[in-house]
Amino acid sequence: MAVPAAEPSQNAYARFAGLMYFFTVFDVTGVVIIARITGSGNFLDTAHSVAASETLYRMGLLCGLVGTMSTILLAIGLYITLKPVDGNLAMIALLFRLAESVIGGVVIVLGFATLQIYLDANQTAASDANQLSTLANLISRTAAVGINISVVFFSVGSATFMYLFLRSGYIPLILATWGLLASLLCMIAFVASLLIPQSAELLTGIGGVPIGIAEPIIGAWLLIRGIRTQGAVSEAVGSRA
């Protein structure tokens, strides 16, 4: 298998992608912040809690925005790194990750809309609050579906990038294989969650944990070690032949 030599610019972009892997964690951080504020009470209790922690709630949404923007930069870094291996597949992976980011951006917009509904609920009568509760519930459910769909796009893009890493030998075989299998499991689990919504929590947990562990490890490798040189790649590919 002929693998093109890694150029210095590729290594620089690979390290940049490794850094961006850690910035995408802001997305999860935002979800945790918002979940802690909203809790599990009724609509009015949640509205009061959100109003009392409005700034923190907005920070949670902005964390999600940082994570979404970092995903775009990550995808660009991976695309430039892996384009010499297979430009067409690298472009497909890039487009899936960009689609993930677009859907993620829409989810953040819905998050700000939900915030405004909670704030308005603190200034309305009980009858109007019931209507706002219905609207907030609809938007929240729509956002939840949007997140699951964005993860499906993520997993396809991630699996494609990991397959290219596997072909190239730029990173250790075990990391590339782990990333590929974890991405495929993530895709299957989140598609299943859309088909079987009553088991969504279990399925998304099963699909999210392996890739959630794999990504920071691969990111750390890229950031610290970069991608293998041509000599190391040839040796790695030869050992698998």
Per-residue pLDDT of the chain (241 residues; tens, 9 = 90+): 455 656 778 899 999 999 999 999 999 999 999 999 988 778 888 999 999 999 999 999 999 999 999 999 999 999 999 999 999 999 999 999 999 999 999 999 999 999 999 999 888 766 677 888 889 999 999 999 999 999 999 999 999 999 999 999 999 999 999 999 999 999 999 999 999 999 999 999 999 999 999 999 999 999 999 998 654 454 544 545 4
Q: Which residues make Cβ contacts (< 8 Å) with residue 105, sequence separation at least 6?
A: 65, 68
Q: Decide if 218 contacts 179 (C-beta within 8 A).
A: yes
pTM more than 0.85 = yes
Give me the residue spans of the domains in the chain.
8-240
* Nearest in space to 1 (alpha carbons), one of 219, 235, 193: 235
